[in-house]
Each structure stands twice: as structure tokens, then as C-alpha cells.
Amino acid sequence: MEEGLLIALAVITMSVVFSMVLGILDGVQKVIQNLGFNTQNFMNSLNDLWNKIISFLGLGG
């Protein structure tokens, strides 16, 4: 009986935490979209940075 209550409490707690995290991430995504920044631009920037690091180290292109 007690174990079942503890499991139920854990499930409820995890669902509340997940919903809070999703709400925060949704808010961050909306702010980023309002700034005109998208994932593709971010990935292109990371790729360019990575290529510059590799070129500096003399490991490629």
C-alpha cells in the first residue's frame, strides 16, 4: 500500500517537473524566434566555428 502511494507521488512529481521544464523551454523558444534566430543559423554558425578550429589546428580543409 505505502509503496504504491510513493510510486504515485513520484509519478505526479515527475509529471509536474516535466511540465515546468517544457514550459520554460517553450518560452525560451518563443524568445529566440522573436529575435529572428533559428536552429539552422545556429547549426551553420557551429559548423563554421568547427571548421575554423580544425583549420587552425591543421587537421583538415
Q: What's the pLDDT score for residue 47?
A: 87
Q: What's the pLDDT score for residue 60?
A: 63
Question: Cα(39)–Cα(22) distance, rounded to whole angstroms?
Answer: 18
**Residue 37 CB neighbour total at 10 angstroms:** 12
* 9-13, 26-30, 31-35, range with the lowest pLDDT: 31-35
Q: What's the pLDDT score for residue 55?
A: 84
Tell me, yes or no, if the pTM score tops 0.85. Answer: no
